[in-house]
Amino acid sequence: MRKLLAAVTIGALLSGGSLAVTATSATAAPVSTTVAAKKVVPKVTIKKIPTKRAPYGGKATVKPRVAVVGVVSVKSKTLTVKKKSTGKTVVKKAKKARLAPGTYKVTTKVRFQRYDSVTRQALGGVKTKTRTQTLVVKKGKRPSSTAPINVDDCPGWAPIKGNQSGIYHVPGGRWYDVTNPEECFTTESAAVNAGYRASKNG
């Protein structure tokens, strides 16, 4: 009987049959990988202050520009400013400066402490870094309108008075001196563009 079964099985294989075989695979154990923390070298860079433009009749505000990489504690950032033409100091060791139009020599000074990015231990003592540059502050363009200088008057460069009724008065007009301006204009066209109309009675 056993010989008969073996013969039948071999015969089935030779005639194109197939036998199913089940394989059992073992599941691989997860692998734990430890990645070491990457060190970042601490660095301080003083950036150049770009050209500034002051508002008309005013001053431009200038501040230090400092960039850091890594773990750095910035203790202070200051500016010392001198007029380029005379060498006169106009600002000394200040956090910021307000400068009128002109050309200046500006020194940025930064005091800082560096630390290891992994251990957080200090790398040496407090250090100082400086950068000196030439800075140009440009004069702002004169606007076409401005606020009154007081309840009765406009500045000389913008003498046309616009009142609360939407009417403007020009110097020499009948009601000019008694008009309380809400807004002042450099030209009649500027007043018209702002929505005002000319006074019919001067």
Cα–Cα dist 115/110, whole Å? 16
Domains delineated in the chain: 43-138 (2.60.40), 145-198 (no CATH)
User: Quick one: which of 126, 177, 140 has its CA closest to 61?
Assistant: 140
User: What pLDDT, on the 0 to 100 scale, is given for residue 22?
Assistant: 42
Cα–Cα dist 53/147, whole Å? 21
Asked which of 23-32, 71-80, 181-190 is least confident by mean pLDDT, the reply is 23-32
Rg (the chain; Cα; Å): 40
Q: In this structure, what is the dihedral angle of CA atoms 3, 5, 11, 12, given to the nearest 10 degrees?
A: -160
The model's pTM: 0.66
The DSSP 8-state label assigned to residue 5 in this structure reads H
| Amino acid symbol at 139 | K
pLDDT in tens, 105-124: 999 999 999 999 999 999 99
User: What pLDDT, on the 0 to 100 scale, is given for residue 28?
Assistant: 55
Whether 27 shows a pLDDT value over 90: the answer reads no
User: What pLDDT, on the 0 to 100 scale, is given for residue 36?
Assistant: 63
Q: What is the largest CA-CA distance in the chain?
A: 137
User: Quick one: which of 58, 56, 42 has its CA closest to 141?
Assistant: 56
Whether 33 shows a pLDDT value over 80: the answer reads no
Q: How far is CA 168 from CA 31, 144, 178, 197, in A?
A: 84, 14, 12, 6
